[in-house]
């Protein structure tokens, strides 16, 4: 989730946690609070994890959130292999989560970014951080980061399925290889029903006219909102709850 103001994420997290019957090999959620970051992970399913119950009762309000439910393809079911993963670069936290399976990906890591666990996902994250650090001598803009990521991400996707979310607290980048959808909530807000649970929220009663929220998920979390599918190989960036797109001049502007 990416928003223009700290926003409650529990409605979406409830819908995501319901899908942990198949993706039962761990869950995690990371959310930014200013320059700080809170991270909760557990290698147990979100359906039974006491950590998930804690999260459901924690008053999470954030403008950038990444949550993940794991179905292990590489690496055993363990805490160190549980997404999201976190690293520091340029004095900011970076958070990454990945659905997919990368084959034959064995990069040379020669910098400060090394995986703790044994997943292809964390390895890909460390490589991305290494290459971003090499590409920019100082803190880049969101536009510059997006341009660099648009060159790096296809090199990862060439090894298999690479559906990923990445955030540094300023923006949220999302790449889809197979299945990924996004939704922008904005004024006028209305009610929404979860796809997998009998839970309903009237966002009109919870928001102001200036609020904007973008939600990205593998499959739509609600059944009565206009979700849009990513095209295969598409990289999108969201800032302040809005999708940014390249203009005719090549600059990023709000869609």
Q: How confident is the model at residue 20 (pLDDT cuts 50, 70, 90)?
A: very low
At 25 the pLDDT is: 73
pTM of the model: 0.89
108 secondary structure, DSSP code: P
- Report whether the peptide linkage leading into residue 188 is cis, meaning its omega lies within 30 degrees of zero: yes
Contact of 241 with 64, CB cutoff 8 Å: no
Question: For 152-179, how does the pLDDT look when each residue is reduced to its tens digit (9 = 90+)?
Answer: 999 999 999 999 999 999 999 999 999 9
> How many angstroms separate the CA atoms of 203 and 223, rounded?
15
Q: According to CATH, what is the number of the domain 2-254?
A: 3.60.20.10
Contact of 245 with 252, CB cutoff 8 Å: yes
Q: Where are the domains of the chain?
A: 2-254
Q: Which residue has the tokens 């502007």?
A: 253
N-term to C-term CA, the chain: 17
pLDDT at 11 over 70: no
pLDDT at 15 over 60: no
CB-neighbour burial class of residue 192 (10 A; exposed 0-12, middle 13-18, buried 19+): buried
């Amino acid at each position: 989730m990416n928003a223009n103001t700290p926003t409650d994420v529990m409605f979406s997290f409830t819908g995501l946690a319901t899908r942990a019957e198949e993706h039962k090999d761990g869950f995690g959620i990371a959310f930014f609070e200013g320059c700080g970051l809170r991270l909760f992970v557990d290698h147990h399913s979100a359906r039974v994890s006491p950590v998930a119950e804690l999260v459901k009762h924690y008053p999470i309000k954030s403008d950038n959130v990444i949550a993940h439910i794991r179905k292990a393809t590489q690496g055993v079911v363990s805490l160190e292999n549980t997404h999201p993963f976190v690293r520091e670069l340029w004095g900011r936290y970076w958070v990454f989560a990945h659905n997919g399976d990368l084959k034959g990906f064995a990069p040379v890591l020669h910098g400060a970014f090394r995986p703790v666990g044994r997943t292809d996902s964390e390895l890909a994250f460390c490589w991305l951080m290494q290459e971003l650090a090499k590409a920019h001598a100082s803190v880049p803009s969101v536009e510059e980061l997006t341009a660099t990521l648009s060159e790096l991400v296809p090199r990862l996707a060439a090894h298999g399925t690479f559906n990923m979310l990445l955030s540094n607290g300023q923006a949220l980048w999302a790449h889809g290889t197979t299945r990924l959808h996004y939704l922008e909530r904005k004024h006028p807000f209305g009610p929404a029903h979860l796809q997998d649970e009998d839970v309903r929220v009237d966002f009109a009663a919870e928001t102001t006219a200036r609020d904007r929220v973008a939600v990205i998920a593998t499959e739509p979390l609600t059944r009565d909102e206009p979700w849009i599918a990513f095209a295969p190989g598409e990289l999108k960036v969201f800032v302040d709850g809005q999708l940014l797109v390249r203009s005719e001049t090549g600059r990023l502007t709000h869609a």
